Every structure is written in structure tokens, then in C-alpha cells.
Chain A
């Protein structure tokens, strides 16, 4: 019995120890650092200040934030608009190849997004596939300069993150009880009403799940603007990277990082609230 207890407690202790040391503690340190003063030599000075957060309200940083927020929001909306119909069609598909088709979505989900971002360059560059096709079709008369613009960054973000929108949606839509749609139709609802009043509320957890998986990375994937966008469209991630590794202002970088953490907390809160009401709906539908 004693050995049993030992085995149990060693396991519990080791996982707690690991996560406290490498997950909880570091995050507390970021919070802590964000209230310290910057020191050009020792990186931080042990003195409490709010100046890092106040600096974020400075138009210079605020503009980056706002811009990055807009890019991430737009990317999320595009992913949702492209991904929802896709996930819906895929989930409702009756085909022998359904598993294969799902598998084909999982592959980009697993593939390094750095490599996938690199792969887009060959499509978007001046003499790339897109321009060659458009020119030969006569749709344009001179090559479009897409690469190194904010359009390229948006294409890169959507390309990288679309699978992260599709998979949670797919998982959710697949569980959707078709009889509910039939029931709504029998009761006289038209397609719009069915979508707005039945399908959309029931797939809301999937939607929010997808938004979390797309919106947060879209703010932090600093290498995509770096590779596809030149210097024009910075993300919050670029700001953090720059403050930590180039400007050596760790307290300010920590404050920016705390804002990211805070927005994650907010999104998770929404997710949990929706999931709770979603479960209530499910138990109602079982009755």
C-alpha cells in the first residue's frame, strides 16, 4: 500500500513541479517584469512602475496594436467565412472518400507553417504562378505586385490558419443532430431561419473554438509579416520580438505580452460561457 501511495504522489508531484517551474512561474515572471523599469545594461531594474503600460497608450504603440488587432480580426473573419461552408460541406458529405478528404485537411494542420509560408512566395512573386496565369488569361496586363504588401501578409495568415478554423468547426458540425434540422423544416422554417436559429446556435462552440485558435496566433505569428510583408504590416508578435531581441526593453515587451495573455483570457471566458449554455441546450434537446 505504501508503494502505491508513493507511486501516486511521485507522479502528481512531478507533473506539478514541472508545470509550476516551466509554465506558471515564467508567466508570473512576465507579469512581474511588466511592472519593472527598463535598464539598458541589466535589462531590468527592481523598481515598480506603470510606465510600460502607459507607454502602450502612446500613439506609436497604440497604432501597431490597433493595426495588428484589425489584421487578426480580418484574418479570423476570412477564415470563418471560408472555413464554415467548407467544414459544413465536408461534415455532411456522403462519400467513400470522406476520411481521405478529412485527412487532406489534417496534413496542412500538421505541416510547419513556416514552410507553408515559404511555399506561398512562389505563387505570389512577380513572375510567380498567380501572375503568370492571370497574364496569360489576359485578365491583367502587367504583373500584380502582391508580395511584400499587406495583402500578401493577409493571404499568408489565412493560408496558415485556415485548417485551425476548419477542424474545430468540423468536429462540432459533425455532431450536429440532423433530425433537429428536419424538425425545423417540418415546422415550416425556411433555410435562412434554420441556419440562423438552429444550425448557428448549435455550432457556436465550434465557431468560438476556431476563433480562439485563429485570432491569437494571427496576432503573434511574427515571421509571416517578416517573410511576406516587408516592414509595413507589423503584428503584436513583431512588437514583442523587437522589444525583447532588438530594442532590449524587456519590461515593455512583457507588458505587450501581458496584453496578449489578457485577450486570450477574455476569449477563453467567452468560450466557457458559450460551452456552458451549449451543454444546457444539449440537455434540453435530450429531453
Chain B
């Protein structure tokens, strides 16, 4: 009896999570614009996506920003995490606290604060403002991912490298980075997804000339259901799914 109750409860929550997404994906293949009924399988909506020139530009913008933001955030975040792990320096605890606050602080607060900054330094809203913002909100997630891996490492390995005459930089590059590799990849993937999906912060810090995918989707979603949009959202979902699978794979490997 108890087992049955818990099984049905888990199932119900999973249905709640997945039914809307599954329906979205199914209807992206439905050969009818608005009907709930099944009118046969079609790939038309996906073809329309492929032919959409606007969408291609917007998707390219998104990809540029996400790849660059993820890469730079991973670079800065990895260096920051090793610093936090290796050295004691002035303001170290403050830095730790700041990372934590950045992770939990509401996106909208970060969005408006960056908007004010860009306004006051007279920076035009567009690619650069978007890139800087995305790097900023990705950094703490990379630091946390890499730092948790660092605390699991044997500190002696690093000391050994130093004793054998490797410089700080050399031991970072030849000892730490190879050992941290899974966490670095995981941090990059996490940043890439966060950046690719961000709506709230981007909403404030990008201009009319530089449209990105989530904001493009947002402007369409406000108009209601559309089969092309179903297809686009399904593609985005598939990308996320793919990334989470790699992420799990990378982290699983770490334990071996």
C-alpha cells in the first residue's frame, strides 16, 4: 500500500514535469495549425524554421554570445577558483560571499543594475553589453563547479609539482588543469546553457539591433501558440537535453 502511494506520487510529479513538454514536441510534428486533434505527421514546421532568415541571424547572435560568454567565464572562473583554493589573500572571504550572493540574487536585480552601469558609462546596448553581462552571471557557477572538484583533490600532488621545480603557472597548466578537466568542461556546459536560455537579464541589457533567441521566442510567445514556435522550442529543448546528457557523462567519469 505504502509503496503504491509513493509510486503514484512520484509518477504524478513526473507527469506534471513532462506532459507539457511531450505535448509541445508532439504538436511540433502535427500537420495542422491550431487543432488539438492529430492530423498526421509533418516536418513542415521544422522546414519553415530552416527557411526563416530572421531566425537564422538571431540564432547566430545567440550562439556567438553563448560560446564566447561560456568560454571567457570558464577561463576567469577557473583561475578564480584555483586562487581561492591555493592562496590566502585580502578579501578572500568577501569574494566567496560575493559568489554566493551572485548565484542567489534575483536576475532582475542584476539586469537593472547592469543597465544603469551601461547607461552611466555611455555604452551602447548590444553585443558587448550582452557579452559582459553573460560572463558576469556565469562566473560564479563556474567557480562553484571547479571549486568543488578542487576540494576533492589531493593537495600533495600540487606540492610535489612545486617541489620538482615547476613554476606556479606550469603546475597550474600541467597538473591542475588536466585534473580539473571534467569540472572545467562541466562549468563551460553549465555557462553555455545559462547564457543560451537567459531571458530576464538579456531583456534589460540588449538593444534593438542585437536580438537573441530567448528574447525572439519571448516576443513570439506573447502572441500565443504557433506550430513553428512549437518546433523552435522543441529544438531548444533538444539542445538542452543533449547538453545535460554530456554534463552528466562528464561528471560521472570524474568518479571513476
Contact = CB atoms under 8 A, between A and B. Distances in A.
B98 interface: yes
A15 B80 contact: yes
Interface in A219-269: 219-223, 226-227, 237, 240-241, 244-245, 250, 253-254, 257, 260-261, 264, 268
A115 B203 contact: no
Contacts of B114: 22, 26
A29 B116 contact: yes
B21 A114 contact: no
Given A114-B217, A241-B203, A257-B109, A11 B225 contact: no
B4 interface: no
Contact of A115 (B18, B95, B217): B217
Contacts of B31: none
Contact of A260 (B79, B109, B221): B109
B57 to A, nearest CB: 20
A110 B240 contact: yes
Contacts of A217: 106-107
Given A121-B224, A241-B203, A107 B24 contact: no
Interface size class of B (residues with CB under 8 A): 35 or more
Contacts of B91: 16
B119 interface: yes
Given A114-B214, A244-B204, A119 B17 contact: no
B83 A11 contact: yes
Contacts of A187: none
A223 B104 contact: no
Q: Which of B36, B91, B135, B204 has the most CB of A within 10 A?
A: B36
Contacts of A86: 9-10, 13
A122 B221 CA distance: 12
Interface stretch (A59-67, A124-132, A178-186, A277-285): A124-132
B147 interface: no
Given A11-B79, A105-B17, A118 B217 contact: yes
Given A110-B193, A116-B21, A26 B82 contact: no
B23 interface: yes
Interface of A: 3-4, 7-8, 11-12, 14-16, 18-19, 22-27, 29-30, 33, 43, 82, 85-86, 89-90, 93, 101, 103-108, 110-123, 125, 127-129, 132, 159, 162-163, 212-213, 216-217, 219-223, 226-227, 237, 240-241, 244-245, 250, 253-254, 257, 260-261, 264, 268
Given A26-B116, A220-B107, A8 B236 contact: no
24 contacts: A8-B87, A15-B139, A16-B91, A18-B139, A19-B136, A26-B110, A26-B114, A33-B116, A86-B9, A89-B6, A93-B10, A106-B248, A111-B240, A114-B218, A115-B233, A115-B236, A121-B225, A122-B225, A123-B19, A216-B105, A237-B106, A260-B109, A264-B106, A268-B101
Q: Which of B82, B86, B233 has the most CB of A within 10 A?
A: B233
Contacts of B27: 122
Contacts of A264: 101, 104-106, 109
Contact of B108 (A26, A27, A116, A222): A222
Main secondary structure of the interface of B (DSSP, over half): helix
A159 B20 contact: yes
B112 interface: yes
Contacts of A104: 14, 17-18
B168 A8 contact: yes
B95 A16 contact: yes
Given A121-B225, A253-B112, A112 B197 contact: yes
A190 to B, nearest CB: 16
B13 to A, nearest CB: 5
B112 A219 contact: no
B113 interface: yes
Given A18-B136, A253-B112, A8 B83 contact: yes
